[in-house]
Structure 1
């Protein structure tokens, strides 16, 4: 099971450490769900999700202040379990003494932020979803083409990295080369990013490994992208029929989500970068309601009708 330390969460979300600094690397977060312990403050703990980050906003803090000191400490001690990774207080609200005492007893860090409760909840959830999501490592190259995440796949040596280099020179951005870490943000979207050891790097046979950010600037790379299209490069074969009109729609499943796929034949003399770029632009046009294949079909049908009329 994947996990994130409280220190990683604090650094990524800009949280201030109020107490428990020495336990930041020891407390692990294993779920992207967040708990706002409103019912628990009333004493109802039957379904308390102790393993979640516990977020306290104005509602929770103000309600806890209405409790007697004895009840307040009792509830806070029930909130602070061995499973609880950390407590987060929003809006720069003061930390109740009972919370500080109970957290110290269980070695639980208390973090704070000046952000609103809703905003910090969204920020924490977004970060945890990306870090804790189910992941899959794929062989391929991920490139940002006009804001569209295009995953280029194909057999080793077919020219994926060389195509990516040409695309970078045309102003597009590299996300990952050779290995792409794919993860699911939600039930509709799949994202890709490079392994840390390969970030910004591109391998070109005969040249070796090049640092794209160093050679082409920070604008030539991205850290991650939503995968919208898969372009599969395949060596040209006379025995195989490739789609010529674009009417055949392929899909490939990544982590249970179907992604549109285009298979492009590779042959000496074909400029693959321009072809992949055109494929991405054509796909975007389709998502915006324009389909060149349908236009061709309509033109063809109109021509047939005209010829039929003239021959009568």
Structure 2
């Protein structure tokens, strides 16, 4: 194993502020068919984690699984490091801490690395990019990552789409989820609701109450779209008048029909005193007779 007194590999300087596409070229995962070529191999004890790493929790079961893979196949993708600003001669992890931890479990003595002369800003940007690339990332955290890249570093939706291999509408739709109430975002974060459900609720004044209704009913996205259009308080249907009329109404209809020599229909409004009187004429001559009678 190499000793700390050995001369350190010379960092490959790529320049600061290289832009999103250049950073993505380093962070994009390699494949077994096309692994990235490391700059060098470093002793594991000369590699330190980044104290500002936003990811604090590493699942033990997943690390064990990755360590088993490292034991069988080695580390396929080099991790990215930079000269440690606080420990001369050592290197700080920029991206790839999971692989470093798994390699320790696998009892490796050294690791393949890409050495970059990144600034603090570059390191923060890469940490966000690496977090976005996680396969199990929920839609709210993914959207927050895109928002951070736009707000902190001035990237546009088009630039993010190009660099990350996404469509611009995909990124725009995810960003809209950040406008949802906190409780609805919580349902998206824990997987109770999908991003499709969330998009239906964006901008709705009853989003929180609708989300609870969706969860209670286990509604699909299609059913959610209908619920959102209808709202929680649809206008009640007016009850249809009963086809069955009371004896007094039928008697009054018969009396008027005999006097007017026309068909007569009386309908009372439910719960009220008013109603509708309809006269049914047989032909225009009968209508003329009625108009003359009404005219005196």
What TM-score, normalized by structure 2, do the two folds share? 0.24
Q: Structure 1 or 2: larger helix share?
A: 2
Q: Structure 1 or 2: larger strand share?
A: 1
